[in-house]
Amino acid sequence: MSSSPDEDPPAPTEPERWRDLDMLLSRPGNLVDANFAPSPGLRDMLGSLVEVLVVGAGGLGCELLKDLALSGFKNLHVIDMDTIDVSNLNRQFLFRVQDVGKSKAEVAAKRVMERVSGVNIVPHFCRIEDKEIEFYSDFSIIVLGLDSIEARSYINSVACGFLEYDSDDKPIPETIKFMVDGGTEGFKGHARVIIPGTTPCFECNIWLFPPQVKFPLCTLAETPRTAAHCIEYAHLIKWNEVHPGKPFDADDAEHMQWIYSEALKRAELFGISGVTYSFTQGVVKNIIPAIASTNAIVSAACALEALKLMSGCSKTVSNYLTYNGIVGTHINVSEFVRDKDCLVCGPGTLIKLDASTTLSEFIKMLEEHPKLLMSRASVTHEGDNLYMQAPEVLEQMTRQNLGVPMFELLKGATRATVHVTGMAENNGKKKSSLRKLRVAFNGVEEASKMDESS
């Protein structure tokens, strides 16, 4: 790779760059959304009014930032905790050799801003969990370019947490946080549109993402059948036998070489072929081969869905597009349905309290509630921290609320929506979860009416 920013061809001039987009946004059509208002100024409105958050600045994230910037979005933010590795350079095309070690979010933002004039991209070099929930409330749409189920699940619960329902259990439009989720794995990919309360959220059909395959240890130890079994034997069993107490470091070439030669010995013993150094790296580091074209295809679909959602210039995919390039090329769209009992995008589990129930009693109820089983809960109401388990300074500040009745903390409202975060069981694993709960008080109707009239 010898390209550098200096050698890039000049960017097209305005308004030539926007000719096709303007055509799409300024003309009516048969396939447009019912609310579409074509106008020559629509692109400017899109640029000035819509704030987009891109989650992830890796293979898919680089493509997404470029595609969204070239689709008329001018206010973008990008969040990613990773730094650039030399192995990223073959497909994460915004990065150069001299960027190795720097923040992906910061470099990606800078590169796209250099190339597309008028675009502002704010980078956030941190974990998604490090941001306050309120940070996510500013965006009209969140586009996900992630490779982790946990991170998707977290963003999904945050975005769905903003959703409010009216008294008929219909989603209130202003509280809907749109999401477009992209994902790729080798030659396969998907792009899905999530409209919380209308289309299924990530949690409604989490079964689409089966848990990662792990080999049973007995297979590794006794009956290896594949090259991967031999590698995992060397990695998970042999390393600890030979190097007790010494942690294995996947980025240490000597360690990797040791695993490779041990795996090779074992493969020879059992007459198994296919153990190579690069395959060893792939298995140990759990590397899924990344294909730049798959990222480009999935990102293009995601950016187009974002444009359609925000402008109404055409109907969006309903609601899950899959791309498969393994044998030929197949694109398919499936329409999944919402799980009406979903704990994340539904109206929220209803919890009935007495006017005297204290916050600490409420937290105890969450632990025992059969649908929630949430331990170590932190509780917020409309952005106010009622009780925080961590960090220590917030715990100290909110500790005195534990003995106060919830009715008082919620300022005498007979019904309220609260958000709780804590450890809960999800897809068979105990992990950090965010839940929206509806709290109602038994027999305090009268008191609240008096409050309103006073």
Residue in 62, 204, 218, 313 annotated catalytic = 218
The burial of 305, by beta-carbon neighbours within 10 Å (0-12 exposed, 13-18 middle, 19 or more buried), is given as: buried
Which amino acid is residue 100, in one-letter code?
V
Tokens encoding 12? 């097209």
Least distance from C-beta 298 to Zn ion, angstroms?
A: 22
Q: How far is the CB of 351 from Zn ion (least distance, A)?
A: 19
Q: How many CB atoms lie within 10 A of CB 60?
A: 29
Q: Kindly give, in sequence order, each residue whose CB lies less than 8 Å from that of residue 452, ignoring residues fewer than 6 positions away.
A: none
Nearest position to Zn ion, beta carbon: 342
At 384 the three-state DSSP class reads strand
Q: Are the CB atoms for 335 and 385 separated by under 8 Å?
A: no
| Element spanning 446, H or E | helix 445-453
Angle between helices 104-115 and 59-69 (to 10 degrees): 30
User: Is 218 known to be catalytic?
Assistant: yes
Alpha helices in 291-405 (DSSP H): 292-311, 359-368, 392-398
Report CA 109 to chain centroid distance, whole Å.
19
DSSP state of 347: S
> Which of 178, 407 has the CB closer to Zn ion?
178
Q: How far apart are the first and last CA of the chain?
A: 73
Helices (H) and strands (E) in the chain, counts: 15, 13
For residues 316 and 307, is the Cβ–Cβ distance under 8 A? no
Residue 29: CB atoms within 10 Å: 10
Residue of 143, 167, 172 whose CA lies nearest to 156? 143
What is the spatial distance between Cα 314 and Cα 35, in angstroms, rounded to a whole number? 10
Q: What is the DSSP string of 126-183?
A: S-GGGS-GGGGGG-SEEEEE-S-HHHHHHHHHHHHHT--B-TTSPBPGGG--EEEEEE
Q: Shortest Cβ distance from residue 320 to Zn ion (Å)?
A: 14
Nearer to Zn ion, 65 or 420 (CB): 420
C-beta of residue 18 within 8 angstroms of C-beta of residue 42: no
Residues 233 and 432: their CA atoms lie apart, in Å, by 31
CB of 223 to Zn ion, least distance (A): 41
- DSSP E strand stretches across 319-428: 320-324, 330-334, 349-353, 375-381, 384-387, 415-426
Which CB sits closer to Zn ion, 50 or 204?
204
SS3 of residue 10 by DSSP: coil
Interaction site with Zn ion (CB under 5 A): 201, 203-204, 342, 344-345
CB of 200 to Zn ion, least distance (A): 6
| Cβ-based nearer residue to Zn ion, 309 or 345 | 345
Catalytic residues: 218
